[in-house]
Structure 1
Amino acid sequence: MNKREDHFLKEVAGHIKSKEAKAFVTAELSFHLKKAKRFWQEKGFSDETAEEKAVEQMGSPVRLGQDLNKLHKPKVDWMLMTLLAAALGFGFLPIFALDYTEAFLLSKIIIVLLGIAVAIGIMLFDYRKIERLGWLFYIIGVVLLLVLRTFPTTMINGQSFIAFGAITIESLMALPFFFLAWASFFNNPKMKIWQIALLYIFSLYLFFSIPNLSTALIYTVMVFVMLWWSQFSKKNKLMMTVVSFVLIASVGLLFFFRTEEYQMQRLVGYLYPEEHADSAGYIYLRLQEVFSSAGWFGTTDGFRFIPSAHTDFVFATMTFYYGYAFAMVLVVVLSLFAVRMIMITKYMNSSFGKLLLVGSMTLFIVQFVYNIAMMLGLLPLTSISLPFISYGLMPTLFNAFLIGIVLSVYRRKSLVSGSVQY
């Protein structure tokens, strides 16, 4: 780099506060200066004169640095932060309604503080640094599932868990690693469709072998939504989608004929709750009773037993104790998360950033929609929590991680001029 150009870039960078923005602006200006210098060289000017003219074209370094500092200042999405605070605050209400303050209030406060710390920590981290680490994240996800499959410490309804005191590791914890892996794979033009297919089939097999069908469902939806936002042609996307769904349907039929008795009872209870009111259908009838007895502004019928009232069934608890009006407010707040994520994608030039946004949005929406749908009897009951509202450390950290990724991408939306080339 020549002295005149070096001095100009240092003077401009001196007015930019963000280290990330400073590096980005220096690289961009250096590129444009070299381009302008070549232009004047082609006009017949000497190297020194061409450099001087290129620098002069840029204008005042002070004014340019001040303008670029405003333009590339790291952004905080305060709307998303407000929604996060509101959702985490709503998560305390079931504890008060159920009078669980003595047992769960302190741990809930700790969980919320950890969730906020994770979201802010991920926001401050530059997501672009992990763009080429897809294989590492995929391997970590695979190893975690293999450990769960091979060395479970607890089995609940056939599902494998590893417990470390109050912390329980389940297959849901592998999703963040696979999510980051697929964002990298789908943004890599060197990846072939057959490689994508093999990686997906192998990882899906591991989810089924745990087994955890709810996590496998979330994972599958995430992969295919991200696939349709990837760099593959529409023909390849359609081919992989059709083939995969045929395969999944075939595997589903195989699992159906090998279904355990308790799993078949759950399915029959969902389809015919009245006929199985004394067994698997009881919970569906209980939920119908809870929702039918809830008023617009809270129940007047006293206590109702709700299983898993502060975890998976928390939406039923909120509706019963705080009413339909509050339930609608809760649905609106959680829906605004998805709306905001969709809006942010319009600002992104980075294909990797868009894939991260789409993946985060999908993982969040599937949990939110499925949880409420199963509470209303529209889908079978399974272990999917309501984001930020259900009690639990790992689900809260998982969703805080997703929001942190969105905040990280938004924070650097003006620091990306195009996709990174492999």
Structure 2
Amino acid sequence: MENRRKSFLNEVTSQIRSKEAKDRVSAELNYHVKEAKMRWVNKGYSDVDAEQKAIEQMGSPITLGIQLNKIHRPRIDWILLSLLTAVLLLGFLPVLSLGYDSNHYFLMRKMILVVLGMIVALGLMFVDYRKSVSWGWMFYGVGTLLLLSLLFFSSGTINGKPVFAFGQLTIESIAALPFFLIAWACFFNKDTFKIYQFILLFLVSLLLFFVIPSIATTYLYLAMVLSMLWWSKFSNRQKGVVSGITVGSLLLIGIFSWQYQPYYIKDRMIGFLNPGKVADGAGYQVLQIKKLISGAGWFGGSQNEQQFIPEAHTDFAFVSITYHFGWIAAIFLTLILILVLARMVIATQQVRDYFGKLLIIGSLSLLFFQIVSNIGMAFGFFPLTSMSLPFISYGLVPILLNAILIGVVLSVYRRKDLSSSAF
């Protein structure tokens, strides 16, 4: 009897190409055969006859297998992959605009980073994200341990932020974000996850980001968690209260701790709010960027190449592209980035798995706030800070972080038809 059912399942799954789909279809089909068998047993049939009836009821195993292969085959989001390729190629523009001899060095390294970013994104696409659903505490622990290690055992500092330096490779607190992304998706996915647990875990991790410190990374982490919170299973009242208290508390802390802030933070904020007042200090960079942006033409020009742009290939890559290649290039780049975000929004509507949705929401929020903040700095809407433009800014960590985010989305999308029953 078992051999008959096993033979039937093997005939069905032999028509299915994906190993992941084979396992899921076999398990679900086995369940439905047992369910159908019980109905026949209740009608008075023997176990052997009931099983035979249940199998016959399923129809031709070859036909059924072909149909299920079409339904359950893994999907590749070719649109998102195409957009990723386009934006990675556009990332060469800031390096091309550097205008000094070492740009050949940066070009070679940029090529390596682009290839590495694509490999990471494609590699993660083939990793089954669903296997991590029960590993929330492990990912939270790794993220926390990384922050504690930076706090107590860092090998140096860059712009006041502790880092681990391995030659030219540096690991900062932003490297902990992917671990916390998966951790929070795991936690929010649980029906047993309580609001007090969320508050405790959130406060501990947020405090570590504050102490590091990195304003940009803390801001991204805060935006990611609150975005995922609003997609959680908590009530709207709980979400609103927690979000309101969090944002309100941070504002009050900022106001009352203003006089104790380091000089460079005060100087940067004054330069943002009133750049003309500190035109010889922090305001100079703000005014210079505004001048470069306002002086950019539609197509740029060779006469612009002699202009100095601070951090032209990293934090101010968008300013560099706008000034050297014109508003056409800047608008095209912005459009591509918007399409990447829009494609991720569409993915949230197509994915039925709640855990997968949470992962996409967290990834989307991290990309969105990076893009808005970096471009906002160029137009004076945000204070100047170390915020990369995804896939465009030069550097290993920014490329890897955002490649991981895209890879997670591709992984979820690839299995969007494997997470729901087709019977």
Partner of 1:339: 342
Alignment of 1:304-315 (within 5 A): 304-315=307-318
Matched, 1:206 2:208: yes
Q: 1:360 aligns with which of 340, 360, 363?
A: 363
CA distance in 1 between counterparts of 2:223 and 2:96 reads 35
Partner of 1:143: 145
Alignment of 1:18-417 (within 5 A): 18-99=18-99, 100-299=102-301, 301-302=303-304, 303-417=306-420
**Counterpart residue identity of residue 397, structure 2:** M
Contact kept in structure 1, 2:293 and 2:378, CA below 8 Å: no
Quote how far apart the aligned CAs of 1:300 are. Answer: 5.4
Higher mean C-alpha deviation, range 126-135 or range 91-100: 91-100
**Counterpart residue identity of residue 3, structure 2:** K
CA distance in 1 between counterparts of 2:309 and 2:156 reads 25
CA distance in 2 between counterparts of 1:62 and 1:197 reads 52
Contact kept in structure 1, 2:76 and 2:413, CA below 8 Å: yes
Contact kept in structure 1, 2:15 and 2:65, CA below 8 Å: yes
CA distance in 2 between counterparts of 1:12 and 1:146 reads 51
Residues 165-212 of structure 1 show CA distances to partners (whole Å, capped at 9, x for unaligned) of 011110100101011100000101121110100100010000010100
Quote how far apart the aligned CAs of 1:66 are. Answer: 1.2
CA distance in 2 between counterparts of 1:190 and 1:329 reads 46
Residues 344-364 of structure 1 show CA distances to partners (whole Å, capped at 9, x for unaligned) of 111111100000010111111
Contact kept in structure 2, 1:293 and 1:301, CA below 8 Å: no
SS at match of 1:281: helix
Contact kept in structure 2, 1:296 and 1:324, CA below 8 Å: yes
CA distance in 1 between counterparts of 2:162 and 2:352 reads 41
Residues 131-189 of structure 1 show CA distances to partners (whole Å, capped at 9, x for unaligned) of 11110011111111111111222223322122110111101001010111000001011
Q: Identify unmatched segments of 5+ residues in structure 1.
A: none
**Counterpart residue identity of residue 378, structure 1:** F
CA distance in 1 between counterparts of 2:88 and 2:248 reads 40
SS at match of 2:191: coil
CA distance in 1 between counterparts of 2:230 and 2:204 reads 20
Quote how far apart the aligned CAs of 1:97 are. Answer: 2.0
Partner of 1:7: 7
**Counterpart residue identity of residue 15, structure 1:** Q
CA distance in 2 between counterparts of 1:29 and 1:35 reads 10
CA distance in 2 between counterparts of 1:298 and 1:246 reads 43
Q: What is the TM-score when the length of structure 2 is the normalising length? A: 0.96
**Counterpart residue identity of residue 170, structure 2:** T
**Counterpart residue identity of residue 60, structure 1:** S
SS at match of 1:297: coil
CA distance in 1 between counterparts of 2:10 and 2:256 reads 65
Contact kept in structure 2, 1:38 and 1:50, CA below 8 Å: yes
Higher mean C-alpha deviation, range 54-63 or range 153-162: 153-162
CA distance in 1 between counterparts of 2:6 and 2:173 reads 52
CA distance in 1 between counterparts of 2:60 and 2:175 reads 51
The alignment of Structure 1 onto Structure 2 pairs a total of residues equal to 418
SS at match of 1:341: helix
Quote how far apart the aligned CAs of 1:103 are. Answer: 2.2
CA distance in 1 between counterparts of 2:47 and 2:228 reads 48
**Counterpart residue identity of residue 233, structure 1:** S
Quote how far apart the aligned CAs of 1:250 are. Answer: 3.0
SS at match of 2:417: helix
CA distance in 1 between counterparts of 2:255 and 2:211 reads 15
CA distance in 2 between counterparts of 1:293 and 1:125 reads 47
CA distance in 1 between counterparts of 2:410 and 2:37 reads 38
Q: Identify unmatched segments of 5+ residues in structure 2.
A: none
SS at match of 2:165: strand
CA distance in 1 between counterparts of 2:261 and 2:216 reads 15
CA distance in 2 between counterparts of 1:238 and 1:294 reads 43
CA distance in 2 between counterparts of 1:406 and 1:112 reads 18
Higher mean C-alpha deviation, range 340-349 or range 405-414: 340-349
SS at match of 1:346: helix
Contact kept in structure 2, 1:293 and 1:299, CA below 8 Å: no
Quote how far apart the aligned CAs of 1:236 are. Answer: 1.9
CA distance in 2 between counterparts of 1:27 and 1:247 reads 49
Residues 53-75 of structure 1 show CA distances to partners (whole Å, capped at 9, x for unaligned) of 11111111001111111221111
Higher mean C-alpha deviation, range 401-410 or range 31-40: 31-40
